[in-house]
Structure 1
Amino acid sequence: MTSRQPLALSTLSAPAPPRLAVSASRQPPSLLRLPALLGAEVSLWYRFVRRDLPAVVIPGLVMAAAALRSTGATAILDWARVIGSGLVFFGLYLYAFCLINQISGAEEDALNKPDRPIPSGLVTLQGARLRWAIVMAAYPITGLCLGGIRLACFALLAQLLFVAHEQGGLHRHWLTKNLCCAAGLLALLAGAWQMAAPLTPAAWRWIAFAVTTFGLTLPLQDLRDAEGDRRSGRTSLSMSVGEPAARAILAGLIALLPAATHFLLIAPLHRGLRGAACEALLALLNLATAARTATLRGERADHATYMLHTFWFSALVASALVVL
């Protein structure tokens, strides 16, 4: 679509309007464009983060809701405040990580994920770096405004881990990569609870269990990116021990999660029917994921298996709403 060219002043019979009047007449179109610009930025945010939404924003919102429920709050305004604040805070968390991750991996994404914003040409590397700088500044400031110094500290911890993961090279080996990601989830979930209520021993137990179990099984995501890992020089679990052994290890760990959930999490906190119902749902997701890991191959199948695992993680965090 071509842009319209302005008429030459020489073709007009009336004198040109004063300079001040021209400047004022241009203001309303600029203001009218603001919603469209904001909408475009939200759309770009979604394009950057859409693959990781189930593993970050949803668990963060649910953990914040569990914290608010534990206080006995019933006012609609309280719930609206926590949910609205969480959408902003966790959205910034995820955006900061995805931006630096996709800036660092732009060449790899051109081969494996060409639909992402940078390789698809939706945004330039310079534009992505500018957005990352803005988000990194906004994230801890937002934490300070929403939850005080403690929430700001969790935001700063997450940022330190983002930089260590990408710029510090921790993503090069599956062990350091998973430890870093688990620590990032700890900062996320602890910050989510802190946003709505002070952290309690029961909350810490839930957070520690969720972070540890998800962190141990996080190499599941690397099964779908095996070719990209080889080309970029990363060492994944399947490259270390072989794909058959990696699948057996991960399927075995995931299959053991129902027992761990019962003895280490649910039983010490809640022995009633609600706790049993949560266990049954979580076990079903675990067993389905373990079976898929052991029997299905291919990038699409492995991606679907990993997404099912992230749904389990979200359901595990959501169970805190029922049990705590």
Structure 2
Amino acid sequence: MTATPENVSTKSRQEDLAQSTLPPTKGAFPLLSFAKTLWLFTESDFATFVFPDTVFGIFAALSGPLLTGNASPDLLQILRRLPYVVLWNWLNLLIFDLANQRHPESILEDSINKPWRPLPSGRISVSQTRHLLLIALPVVLGINYCLGAWEETILLFTLTWMYNDLGGGDDGFIVRNIIIAVAFSQYNKGALRVATGENAVSPAAWWWLAVTSGVIGTTMQVQDMKDQEGDRAKNRRTAPLVIGDGAARWTIAIPTAIWSFACPIFWRLSFLGYVLPVSIGMIIVFRILLLRSFIADKRTWWLWAAWTGIIWMTPLFKDYSVFVRFLHNFRS
């Protein structure tokens, strides 16, 4: 292929970004600066991964015998495990983001879509990120072993390698969505194991994990609608860039509408159990089809994250006895 000024400029920009170095830490709080750097790696993915997966783990644990071996869960006891569930999810997300954001093409993409991230903003270099990842892998595995969900972490490490280093995240949106759906099943299962503590995950939980993976695998492309400019620069084969913006929106709208009804049906809920998932789901359908600006797509993505959290809550719509017991004990 003949080199053009545009190609040379893009390659040069990637090399410049890849060779950026961490400036000297200023001020008296280097640990705070380091903590902020770690947070900036994960900030934009927190709503997509940590929030809904934490909701899944806590509310699945609260549903008791529907999904766990705990016939009579205690509300306060499970809520006290909330920080551990958040920590488990965030640590796994950190590994994924360190592996994902260190590649030159990812830095170029982030310089367009998310310039505040540590690498495009110059807070840290590619070499330092790689060293940080090498240290973080065994540390995170050790912490998650103590939290009680290390097997899921190992599978997530494998999926991270497939997605980032084997190019699964760029090899078409179908392959990408499958990898992400399997990853979400492990995020959700691990979060449930951490939330429920010593209690076992019941066989019924596997069916619910399969359903929730289906939700993710068929609607995850909603996050690509707001990132089209950066994805185009990286030559990533996301749904809106492969099949077109309009068609991609329908691939989100139709599954969202179906799952909004299918998940309450799975739990055989009463009419009231349909209200939240269906109403929020229909708002997403309306927005994704009719509101097509960058800001609108970003807000729709946030709404989608909230909708998945509501879907994950539906087991509690079926069995909310944990709250009844808490109120009874509180009054007595």
Q: Deviation at 1:67?
A: 4.4
Deviates more, 1:188-197 or 1:281-290: 188-197
Structure-2 separation of matches of 1:167 and 1:307: 28
- 8 Å Cα contact 2:58-2:78 kept in structure 1: no
Give the aligned partner of residue 156 of structure 2: 158
Q: Percent identity?
A: 24
Aligned length in residues: 279
Per-residue CA shift, 1:69-97, capped at 9, x if unaligned? 212343745542x2232122111011111
Tell me what 2:38 maps to.
45
Q: Residue deviations 1:187-218, cap 9 Å, x none?
A: 11111122223121332222221111121011
With the length of structure 2 as denominator, give the TM-score of the two structures: 0.78
Rounded to whole Å, the distance in 1 between the matches of 2:84 and 2:228 is: 37
Counterparts of 1:75 and 1:297 in 2: how far apart (Å)?
42
| CA 242–64 in structure 1, closer or farther in 2 if over 3 Å, else same | closer
Give the corresponding residue for 2:189. 190
2:302 alignment partner AA: M
RMSD of equivalent CA atoms: 2.0
Structure 2: 5+ residue runs without aligned partners? Answer: 1-27, 65-69, 320-332
Counterpart code for 1:238? P
Greater Cα radius of gyration, structure 1 or 2: 1
**CA distance in structure 2 between the partners assigned to 1:130 and 1:322 by the alignment:** 45
Q: In the alignment, which residue of structure 1 is the partner of 2:327? A: none
Q: 1:127 to 1:320 in 2, by over 3 A?
A: farther
Bigger shift: residues 90-99 or 120-129 = 120-129
Is the contact between residue 140 and residue 153 of structure 1 (CA under 8 Å) also seen in structure 2?
no
Task: Find the aligned partners of 2:120 and 2:208 in 1 and give their Cα distance.
Answer: 39
CA deviation map 1:165-208 (0-9, x unaligned): 01010111111111111111011111112222312133222222
Structure 1 residues 231 and 117, CA gap change in structure 2 (3 angstroms): same
Greater RCO structure (CA 8 Å; 6+ sep): 2
Give the whole-Å Cα distance in 1 for the aligned partners of 2:79 and 2:177. 33
CA contact (8 A) 2:173 2:239 kept: yes
Q: d(CA) in 1 for partners of 2:78 and 2:210?
A: 26
Which residue of 2 is the match for residue 139 of structure 1? 140
What TM-score results when the alignment is normalised by the length of structure 1? 0.80
| Cα displacement (A) at 1:310 | 1.0
Q: Which consecutive aligned stretches of 4+ in structure 1 deviate over 4 angstroms post-superposition?
A: 75-78
Contact 2:257/2:281 (8 A) holds in 1: yes
Give the partner amino acid of 1:300.
Answer: I
